[in-house]
Structure 1
């Protein structure tokens, strides 16, 4: 059984990105909703111009996500 990558995790920035859409083209994400979680980080939702959710970025990922979730993410930093 192979390990499936759930998203990407930048260890230095403590940020994880989880794509929802199979592919996100340059310029496709036109709106971001930012939800700050004071003292911990935040969640950023990327939407296209039709309002479809493209992906989710988690800032402060070590505090906000389960360790198993980060273990399945590809490390990029």
Structure 2
């Protein structure tokens, strides 16, 4: 499985794709893991319970610099 990290520096949010393509509306359940005061991690699941991707709010504080460097 290949993953890809996208980082929006202005919003300080990153998204890690775990599915090759995520269609609009395919993520039907989100599980939020709060990591105060740094941010939160949001897990996106499809209707069958498969993990599609991971959104990271506060990416600069929650991801290692090397992971963010790969997004450039």
* Structure with larger RCO (C-alpha < 8 A, sep 6+): 1
Aligned CA-pair RMSD: 1.3
**1:32 maps onto 2:30 in alignment:** yes
Deviations 1:14-34 (A, max 9, x none): 110000011101110000000
TM-score (normalizing by structure 1): 0.86
Deviation of 1:6 after TM superposition, in Å, equals: 2.7
Greater radius of gyration (CA): 1
Q: SS of the counterpart of 2:4?
A: coil
Matches within 5 A, 1:5-24: 6-24=4-22
Q: How many residues align?
A: 70
* Unpaired stretches in structure 2, ≥5 consecutive residues: none
Unpaired runs of at least 5, structure 1? none
**Consecutive aligned runs of 4 or more in structure 1 exceeding 4 Å deviation:** none
